């Protein structure tokens, strides 16, 4: 049984040097397939991310911070198997 979810993630990019601090927020749309209660497969512009989280994802990669809140946009879980 797979449940299809969508997520809106905001990627905050911060690059700092001696003079300036640049901040930029990029909106990404992701599609999520929940294989089971522990493994989420997130498909997006960054490729496939397998995470063991529920409702919130926060990953720090060097200067990149990805924060997402996942919601079921269809209201109900659908069995597409």
Number of H helices, E strands in the chain: 0, 6
Least confident of 9-13, 27-31, 49-53: 49-53
Among candidate residues 1, 5, 23, 14, the one with its CA nearest the CA of residue 64 = 14
Three-state secondary structure call for residue 36: coil
pLDDT at 6 over 50: yes
pLDDT digits (tens, 9 = 90+) for 34-78: 555 555 555 544 444 444 433 344 444 444 444 444 444 444 444
The Cβ of residue 45 has, within 10 Å, a number of other Cβ atoms equal to 10
Mean pLDDT (whole number) for 12-41: 48
User: What's residue 43's pLDDT?
Assistant: 52
Mean pLDDT (whole number) for 20-35: 47
- On whether the pTM is more than 0.85, the answer is no
User: HEC string of 58-74?
Assistant: EEEECCEEEEEEEECCC
């Amino acid at each position: 049984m797979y449940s299809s979810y969508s997520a809106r993630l905001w990627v905050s990019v911060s690059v700092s040097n001696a003079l300036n601090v640049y901040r930029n927020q990029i909106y990404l749309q992701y599609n999520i397939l929940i294989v089971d209660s522990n493994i989420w497969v997130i498909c997006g512009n960054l490729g496939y991310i397998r995470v063991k989280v529920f409702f919130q994802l926060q990953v720090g990669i060097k200067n990149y911070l990805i924060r997402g809140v996942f919601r079921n946009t269809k209201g109900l879980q659908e069995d597409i198997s």
